Amino acid sequence: MTVDYKTVEASYDRCLENDAFYDTFYDKFLAKSEEIPPLFAETDFRKQKQMIRMSVRMMVRLGAGEEGTKVAIRNLGESHSRRHHNIRAGLYDLWLDALCESIAECDPEYTPELEQLWRDTMRAGIEMMIAMY
């Protein structure tokens, strides 16, 4: 399937117009599993929201083939590996579900087809991060 990255990036920009987008995301993500909240026990969410904002953008751009994004995603994968934050592979599915649920709430142009574009776009970055575990 060919992914329309510009459509996904436009959706992301619409989501970011909603100041509560990442609050919505973290509320959903933290509720996905009892395993998740302890991973964020020492987290400064102000900084975390800045980091995820850049990380999601990098993952979108990775799929579009932008230079430099592979290095950024590899670095992100290393920080999430068993040597650092120890984020196991199964949590990425929950992360993506929470992201898509948040997009559904925050993007006024959300459709199920747009959600599938998001899922297809995020796949390459998620697979790269899992491989770094």
Is 0.95 surpassed by the pTM of this model? no
pLDDT of residue 53: 94
Phi-psi region of 25 (alpha: psi -120 to 50; beta: other; left: phi over 0): alpha
CATH of the domain at 96: 1.10.490.10
* Number of domains making up the chain: 1
Report whether pLDDT(3) > 70. Answer: no
Q: ∠54-59-63 over CA atoms, to 5°?
A: 145
Per-residue pLDDT reduced to its tens digit, 22-36 = 999 999 999 999 999
Range of 28's domain?
A: 5-131
Closest C-alpha among 110, 118, 100, 94 to residue 31: 94
Residue 11 has pLDDT above 50, yes or no: yes
pLDDT of residue 1: 46
The DSSP line for 7-74 is: HHHHHHHHHHTSTTHHHHHHHHHHTS-TTSGGGGTT--HHHHHHHHHHHHHHHHHHHTT-TTHHHHHH
Q: Using an 8 Å Cβ cutoff, are 73 and 128 in contact?
A: yes
At 84 the three-state DSSP class reads: coil
